[in-house]
Chains A and B, each alone.
Chain A
Amino acid sequence: MAENRTGSAPAGRTPGMGHGGRAMPRKDMPKARKGTLPRVIRLLMEDYKWPFLLAMLFMSLYSLGNISPSIFIEKISSIILRFVETRDWAGAKAELLPVMIVMVVILVVTIVLNYFYARLMAVITQGFLDKMRKRMFNRMQRLPIKYFDAHGHGDIMSHYTNDIDTLRQLVSQSLPRILQSGVMLVGLLGIMLWFSMNLMAVVLIGVFGMTFAVKHIGGKSASNFIRQQKDIGKLEGFVEEQMNGQRVVKVFCHEAASERDFDKVNDELCESATKATRFANILGPVMNNIGNMLYVIIAIAGAAFITLKTPNASIHGLLSGTFGRVLELSVVISFLQIAKQFTGQVNGIAQQFNSIVMALAGADRIFRLMDETPEQDDGDVTLVNAKENPDGSLSESDVRTGVWAWREPQADGSVRLTRLRGDVRLYDVDFSYVEGKKVLEDVTLWAEPGEKIAFVGATGAGKTTITNLINRFYDIQDGKIRYDGININRIRKPDLRRSLGVVLQEVNLFTGTVMDNIRYGKLDATDDECIRAAKLANAHDFISRLPQGYQTMLTSNGANLSQGQRQLISIARAAVADPPVMILDEATSSIDTRTEALVQKGMDALMHGRTVFVIAHRLSTVRDAEAIMVLDHGRIIERGSHDDLIAQHGTYYKLYTGAFELE
């Protein structure tokens, strides 16, 4: 039972991509690419070559041990048959004893091997999954933001839950099971050849019939299963929507109608579920009883062979010179066990087949994530601590000085240091997320150190996009961006981003204490530094009033805090990083006037003395900006200070006087 432990995370709109991120459609049963299985095995070998080979050796050996009882039963039966007429128990005992001792030894070894195999596999499977998860996560961390905008969060999550789970199934169950069944089938074939080819022919005919039944029933069950999955998805979607809107349902007394709609979806699921389980349920008894009938057929065929004195062909006969003699009863008896084991193994392979197809599809999805091209970084300009020499020039320093400089290696091998000031300029920038659909066109703007630049415009006008380009979440298609006079493409991405602080409209906090969350901005910050940052951000007051103050645990994105409080923490987090340039994306959700004033004050304090890009949703925050850019469909249609723009009586004026909706 593959339980989806995350549920279906909403693949909602991703922030930052104006025209809506689209989730990759996932087909019900996509075929894995070629080479997926060898790749899984290659990785497994890379991580656990010797333990895995050892485990497989153990398994092969104990599989052979598993089939040994059928040989012993033949031996014992033949001893019984020989001594039963004479009633010579002492004589029989003398012959039985050595057989028993060999049997005990083999079986004890089998049990021990089985135990060590299981322990080894526990270590290998869990270790391999751990390594795969880390491989996947580490690669994911290096992927560009584009990947996260283009893929639904639920889809990405399912790589870590469903897909890893199918991989576990593959490594710990399906692969060993198939190998084991293979070994046992070969062993059983060998034993059958050894004793009687005639009876072997009967067994093989029976197995043929069985595979036919499996294929028929299995095929039906698979198609019904897919329908059931679809209906489950439909029901889930319906329930989610209804539960979300439950209050509206109440207010409109729509309960009866909702129930009617639900029953429709529910009945459909019931029907397809019945069919799907029906075929799955039938498979067991059918297989079982085909096995039983095969049992009977072998008994009758054996009896017929014996009574009709049909010559028996066997390797044993060939070697001992009894080839072509009549079949022995003891052989028939042991064949009854062999046939059971043989059908059991065929059955086992058949059952693994479905799960292997599914597991490979899952493994392939994991590999697709791992094959994504990571974020490219060709930058050679780095951010270093610097100290100012008496002559005003800069030199590099090993210790934190508070003065930062860009370190530019020159063509001749020398190094040039440029002081980090926060001067950002965009020249004729064009950009599109999807080829042919321009989101920004001819955008030129500049921010001198300490200036506040505000972006105003409707949703989808391109405000967020501009900030995505400055920190290089996306790369521009045309034009150029200069940071302190340096082409930003030449700056190493981590250094570029370290120099830019970001407060996003959608606050993301991490599981951990409030203090941990503030410290996220600067990992080596002391408690004092964090508290100072919280004070600056106006967050200290409410944090002190929390039950455990700064040590209060935050879970599920700070669900126990209000929207405004979460914002204050995210401001403190940016403040502790103390970057020269800030990007502020204002929250759109309505918070009440008082908290808003608090957030505003925090933001103002943070902005002081920095170059700031503000994406404004409320015009009251942009009035003191040095420059306001009004964006419309990717172009800057108006620019200037608040007073200039009001005087122009253009779009900004209309927005400001409330004649236009911002959202």
Chain B
Amino acid sequence: MFKKLLRCVRENKRDTILTPLFMVGEVGLECTLPMITGMLIDAIKAGTDMNLILRYGLMLVLMAMGSMSCGILSGWFAASAGAGFAKNLRHDLFAKVQSFSFSNIDKFSTSSLVTRLTTDVTNVQMAFMMIIRTAVRSPLMLVFAIIMSIRMGGSVALVFLVTVPILGFGLFYIAKKAMPMFKAVFKKYDRLNNSVQENVKGMRVVKSFVREDYEQKKFADASEDVRNDFTRVEKLLAINNPLMLLAMYICMILIPLLTARIIIRSGGTTMDVGALSTLITYSMQILMSLMMLSMIFVMITISGEAARRIVEVLDTEPTLRNPAEPVTEVADGSVDFENVSFKYNPDAAACALADVNLHIPSGATVGILGGTGSAKTTLIQLISRLYDVTTGSVKVGGVDVRDYDMEVLRNKVAVVLQKNVLFSGTVAENLRWGDPNATDEELVHACRLAQAHDFIVAHPDGYDRFIEQGGANVSGGQKQRLCIARALLKKPKILILDDSTSAVDTQTDARIRRAFREELPNITKLIIAQRVASVQDADIILVMDNGRVVAQGTHEELLATNAIYREVYTSQTKGGEDNG
């Protein structure tokens, strides 16, 4: 997992290496400082020689400045290394998602992908910075300070043999114990937030059913649940600080006592008062480092979850790949299904689509009807190779779709998806998704065919009108017509409309179909619809039920032979007949 993440360091390698290097400098100088200070104090005690004192003083100031410079540089490089690492990570994640096939996308929800690209990356970035800075600093400091204090204090350093293990084990024990508790609390927290969210969203329901008191009680329970669990964790963590103080105070009592003994017994020759202050400073450095280490341990464990979620995306292999020697020319718009069966999940027992055999000549208009779950959308998604068939083959222009270059194929097979999306930007910008180099005349032409031109120019900004995210400021029918125009701009050989005119009124719907027939005779058109009226003049109508094509033929043929088709037709036209 770490290897995978480390690959994102790339151009920040220099900064990533320099950060700990400067950190070594900072820590080294910082750990020598107390020793020189001790010498300075001894010099003061010896008295009179102000020159020596000033020399030590200058040395100390220089060392402090050196340590500061190293610290600043280390922090400086850590920032760019961390931010650069996060940038690469986000880039890789985004690029990976771009390479995903539809079945890859099915696996991740939108919101989970957004979280992975934002919050999770930020957490990993924090951990990364911590690893190259604090995780270097603390152990280094610990080792340096212990070595220095042994060199200076000799047997006095034995005090650390007592305090370091007490604190070390104590802190890690608490951290380890608290971790699962924290995880449990966060889950409860999520539940609490979830209940608030449900309430805010469903406030009309709550008020309509006069359930305010009921909801208050429910919320109070959830809130108290969080409170109890959280209090328990915090009470456990309440031992942290006293434990730290205990270790610190043991040092504070034992070190002066032992040092005093050595100093006095030796008459100030083995050690002097300067050493007292030095050793106390070292003991602080050692204990602080331990405290930081336990914090790092907690932080890294927490961000481990985020890292796992990121790597999960990076590890996902796109299920569709270009063939080795792809075909780059689509001959015509004919579509053939030969014994096609399809499963979304290879382990699924039943096929989503079974035994489909179809032969659609280039330029034909095909209508597809069927209830929810009858696999209409599944069928058309195989044509532009959004999914690969499980068995059998789908051919476009006489060539298996798996042999085409995917981009070539998808540019020639334009799909207007059922769940379609416009992006924030102008109308023209959205339309040019179909063809970045389209001229204004081409835009207008496509919009005229899709019956979108009139409402576009009715707005004062016309083609420069700004579309808000998700197309929130145009009506459902207008959105659908813009999506159709966008697809037409690709100048495809096959055009697929997946229930793309459901919000368009029947007259406009009819005009769109007429325009297709008259102006786009060479394009193969596949139209999925709920309304019989939308497909009844098609060359072929497919009736789908439960993953199978149960009937195909013209409107008249199906009316005569197919029960499902007749049922749908009569239920939709009943109103008209009643009124004669």
Contacts and interface: CB of A to CB of B under 8 A. Distances in A.
The A contact surface, by secondary structure, is: helix
Interface in A537-594: 556-557, 562, 564, 573, 577, 590-594
B260 A157 contact: no
A307 B54 CA distance: 12
Interface stretch (A33-41, A111-119, A200-208): A111-119
Nearest to B81: A274
B98 A303 contact: no
A646 interface: yes
B546 interface: no
B458 interface: no
Interface in B260-306: 260-261, 263-268, 272-273, 276-277, 280
A590 B499 contact: yes
A304 B48 CA distance: 10
B359 interface: no
A235 B117 CA distance: 9
B231 interface: yes
A134 B219 contact: yes
Given A241-B470, A300-B57, A333-B277, A84 B264 contact: yes
A274 B249 CA distance: 40
A80 B260 contact: yes
B61 A293 contact: yes
Contacts of A5: 186, 189-190, 193
Interface string B360-385: 00000000000111000000000010
Given A122-B235, A306-B44, A248 B252 contact: no
Contact of B50 (A248, A271, A286, A303): A303
Interface stretch (B99-107, B335-343, B388-396): B99-107
Contacts of B424: 241
Q: Chain B CB within 10 Å — which of A7, A333, A623 has the most?
A: A333
Given A76-B260, A299-B44, A289 B64 contact: yes
Interface stretch (A100-108, A397-405, A448-456, A626-634): A100-108
Contacts of A282: 71-72, 75-76
B114 A236 contact: yes
Given A107-B253, A122-B231, A508-B202, A659 B100 contact: no
A499 to B, nearest CB: 10
A103 B260 CA distance: 16
**DSSP class of B's interface residues: helix, strand, loop or mixed?**
helix
A88 B264 contact: yes
B115 A7 contact: yes
Contact of A250 (B234, B235, B386, B503): B386
A502 to B, nearest CB: 4
Q: Which of B43, B242, B410 has the most CB of A within 10 A?
A: B242
Given A13-B472, A77-B273, A119-B238, A153 B200 contact: yes
Interface in A83-115: 83-85, 87-89, 92-93, 96, 100, 103-104, 107, 110-112, 114-115
A592 B223 contact: no
A107 B211 CA distance: 55
A656 B576 CA distance: 9
A161 to B, nearest CB: 6
A466 B423 CA distance: 34
A661 interface: yes
Interface stretch (A124-132, A185-193, A351-359, A409-417): A124-132
B223 A115 contact: no
A87 B252 contact: no
Top-10 shortest CB links A-B: A285-B71, A281-B75, A658-B506, A508-B202, A118-B238, A122-B234, A245-B421, A592-B372, A289-B68, A277-B79
Interface residues of A, number: 165
Contacts of B214: 523
Contacts of B499: 590
A280 to B, nearest CB: 8
Given A88-B264, A118-B238, A250-B386, A520 B423 contact: no
A24 interface: no
Interface stretch (B82-90, B145-153, B165-173, B515-523): B82-90
A112 B243 CA distance: 10
A426 interface: no
B172 to A, nearest CB: 19
Nearest to A468: B204
Contact of B475 (A73, A112, A663): A663
B559 interface: no
A96 B67 contact: no
A504 B79 contact: no
Contacts of A83: 264
Contacts of B90: 235, 262, 266
Contact of A115 (B238, B256, B505, B506): B238
Interface in B177-209: 186, 189-209
A619 B572 CA distance: 12
B530 A278 contact: no
B113 A137 contact: no
Contacts of B72: 282, 285-286
Contact of B119 (A7, A84, A501): A7
A29 interface: no
A303 B40 contact: yes
A92 B97 contact: no
A285 B350 CA distance: 64
Interface stretch (A253-261, A313-321, A437-445, A482-490): A253-261
A303 B71 contact: no
B318 to A, nearest CB: 11
A165 B201 CA distance: 22
B208 A593 contact: no
A1 B502 contact: no
B536 interface: no
Given A5-B186, A590-B530, A296 B86 contact: no
Contacts of A148: 200, 203
Given A256-B98, A293-B65, A337-B280, 19 more contacts: A1-B123, A15-B204, A80-B273, A80-B276, A85-B268, A114-B241, A119-B235, A134-B220, A137-B196, A153-B197, A237-B469, A239-B118, A244-B421, A253-B406, A274-B83, A285-B75, A307-B47, A333-B273, A657-B506
A5 B188 CA distance: 12
B253 A103 contact: yes
A525 to B, nearest CB: 12
A245 B54 CA distance: 70
Interface string A137-180: 11011100100100001001100110000000000000000000
A141 B501 CA distance: 41
Given A69-B252, A510-B202, A658-B506, A646 B579 contact: yes
Contacts of B237: 118, 122
Given A69-B252, A142-B212, A307-B47, A79 B411 contact: no
A251 B410 contact: yes
A17 B506 CA distance: 28
Contacts of B97: 243, 246
Contacts of B259: 80
Contacts of B78: 277, 281
Interface stretch (B324-332, B412-420, B438-446, B549-557): B412-420
A502 B208 contact: yes
A212 interface: no
Given A252-B490, A253-B411, A259 B95 contact: yes
A266 B102 contact: no
B216 A137 contact: yes
A266 B87 contact: yes
Interface in B503-545: 503-508, 530
A45 interface: no
25 contacts: A3-B119, A7-B115, A73-B256, A73-B277, A80-B260, A103-B253, A111-B242, A114-B242, A133-B219, A141-B212, A153-B197, A242-B94, A243-B110, A243-B117, A246-B97, A247-B419, A254-B433, A269-B87, A273-B125, A292-B60, A304-B50, A498-B209, A511-B195, A593-B568, A663-B477
